[in-house]
Amino acid sequence: MAAGRGAGLLRPPTSSGRATFLELFFDLAFVVALTRVSQRFAGLGEDTGWTLVLGFGRTLLLFLALWLIWSHTAWITSRYEPEQPVIQAVVVGTMFAGLIMAVTLPRAMEERALPFAAAYLMVMVVRPLVIAAALRGHPRRLVPFRLAVWASASAPLWLAGALGPDDLRLPLWVAAVAVDYVAWALGWPLPWLGASKVARWRIAGTHLADRYQQMFLIALGESILVIGVVFSGTDYAADRATAFAVAFATSALLWRIYFHCAGLLLTDALDRVAMPARLGTALERTHLLLVLSVLVTAVGYELVIDDPFGRPRPNWLPFVVGGPMLFLVSRVRLEYEIFGRVSRSQPIGLVALLLCTPALAHWAPMVGLSVVAGVLALVALVDAWWRRGRPMEAPGSPTGGEKPDVGDSEA
């Protein structure tokens, strides 16, 4: 009887695969969060050497914590019925915690470390306990219980980093994030209970594909916001107007390259495989890199629009050129996960940017952004030419093709 009550929380086969309005509302908190991440990255524009590396690492750490919150929520709403009041309460509570993390993020490695860590732990520890209680006697309740135990294990590292000396915060939080990500990869194993491999979970593949596509669009939207805000706050000179136009074209090309075939077919790919959660796990890591690449690229827009023909600064290359390079690497990975092969255009574009980077270090930022836009345009044109007149290719993912283990009662 208890299992029956708990089973009412699970997604029925008749549930809509599309994201709900509540989830789109939830994403608003992460629009704020991604904007704050970009602002922290942009603050590194004048740094060099070890200072730049250290600042980049701190901001990356905060982004990884945010990503874990968002991706866990996406998987929760792919496994449980979003129209259930308990799940709705969980999503709204997570949104509030995400908003706290967003507003504290600019100084989260400094004096606002405690509220950032406390909001993170409220989601990671309390949320799975609420879901486990709602599942009552259902076998799946052991999955959120595992999450809560592992999150409790990393909690002392988060709290020690927030309350301890400033110079220990980064290493302690790096260890904490590593524990949380490794636990996810291993399936949160516990003595006597074993692990619950995410690749074996039963999920709504259409919903998960929707969520990844939406998060990528949110990241692109943040880049458009950066373009508009920076240009509107500067003098309307011809060189800045040109940088504004090239930055917009670059974001449009990122959208085109992502959705051309591979990004457009996420839903079909997840529907065709025998174990969609296995493919979904791979796509989660790929989209982490894709979203990060767009955020880093957006910082390059800000630096270029602010001073298009300023003196050459090699420390801008990680943003102006490095972001698009990371995007192409991630896009290659995405194409392999969807089709089991890689087209030539993206690796060629990546090599072209690598070869150009040493020379771009001696040119004005505007030259670097223009070269990036030109390479991305070439990649998009080659892809379009190769597909011209051909029918849409069906997904053939090499991931998730094995038959599921029907004996896995926790899935």
Q: What pLDDT, in 10s, does the model give residues 202-238?
A: 888 888 899 999 999 999 999 999 999 888 877 788 8
Of 97 and 18, which is predicted with more confidence?
A: 97
What is the C-alpha to C-alpha distance for residues 386 and 59, in angstroms, rounded to an integer? 39
Among 196, 213, 233, identify where a domain stops: 196
**pLDDT band at residue 157, thresholds of 50, 70 and 90?**
very high
Residues 215 and 166 in one domain: no
pLDDT surpasses 80 at 261: yes
Domain contains 253:
yes
pLDDT surpasses 50 at 405: no
User: DSSP class of residue 80?
Assistant: B
CB contact set of 76 (below 8 Å; sequence gap of 6+): 87, 90, 91, 131
Residues 181 and 276 in one domain: no
Q: Kindly state the tokens that stand for 367.
A: 């030259």
Residues 149 and 14 in one domain: yes
Q: What's the pLDDT at 223?
A: 92
pLDDT surpasses 70 at 165: yes
Q: How far separated are the first and last CA of the chain, in Å rounded?
A: 20
Domain contains 212:
yes
Q: Kindly state the tokens that stand for 181.
A: 């990500």
pLDDT surpasses 90 at 367: yes
Residues 153 and 231 in one domain: no
CA distances from 293 to 73, 311, 316 (A): 22, 25, 15
pLDDT, mean of residues 49-72: 92
Q: What's the pLDDT at 406?
A: 43
Domain contains 396:
no
Residues 191 and 209 in one domain: no
What is the C-alpha to C-alpha distance for residues 325 and 283, in angstroms, rounded to an integer? 19
Domain contains 400:
no
* Residue 30 domain boundaries: 2-196
pLDDT, mean of residues 160-175: 94
Domain contains 404:
no
Among 153, 175, 196, identify where a domain stops: 196
Residues 106 and 158 in one domain: yes
Q: What's the pLDDT at 124?
A: 96
**pLDDT band at residue 4, thresholds of 50, 70 and 90?**
low
pLDDT surpasses 70 at 1: no
Least confident of 2-11, 196-205, 308-317: 2-11
Q: How far is CA 156 from the centre of its chain?
A: 25
Residues 212 and 148 in one domain: no
pLDDT, mean of residues 57-75: 94
Domain contains 401:
no
Domain contains 313:
yes
pLDDT, mean of residues 310-336: 91
What is the C-alpha to C-alpha distance for residues 116 and 72, in angstroms, rounded to an integer? 18
Q: What's the pLDDT at 199?
A: 81
Note whether 305 and 235 are within 8 A (CB): no
pLDDT surpasses 70 at 410: no
**pLDDT band at residue 163, thresholds of 50, 70 and 90?**
very high
**pLDDT band at residue 91, thresholds of 50, 70 and 90?**
very high
pLDDT surpasses 90 at 141: no
Of 51 and 325, which is predicted with more confidence?
A: 325
**pLDDT band at residue 6, thresholds of 50, 70 and 90?**
low
**pLDDT band at residue 5, thresholds of 50, 70 and 90?**
low
**pLDDT band at residue 140, thresholds of 50, 70 and 90?**
confident
Among 151, 173, 196, identify where a domain stops: 196
Residues 85 and 189 in one domain: yes
Q: What's the pLDDT at 14?
A: 65
pLDDT surpasses 80 at 154: yes
Residues 15 and 162 in one domain: yes
Residues 211 and 128 in one domain: no
Domain contains 398:
no
pLDDT, mean of residues 301-328: 90
Total number of domains constituting the chain: 2
Residues 53 and 176 in one domain: yes
What pTM value is reported for the model? 0.92
Q: What's the pLDDT at 45?
A: 72
Work out the mean pLDDT of the chain and round it to a whole number. 88
Residues 218 and 339 in one domain: yes
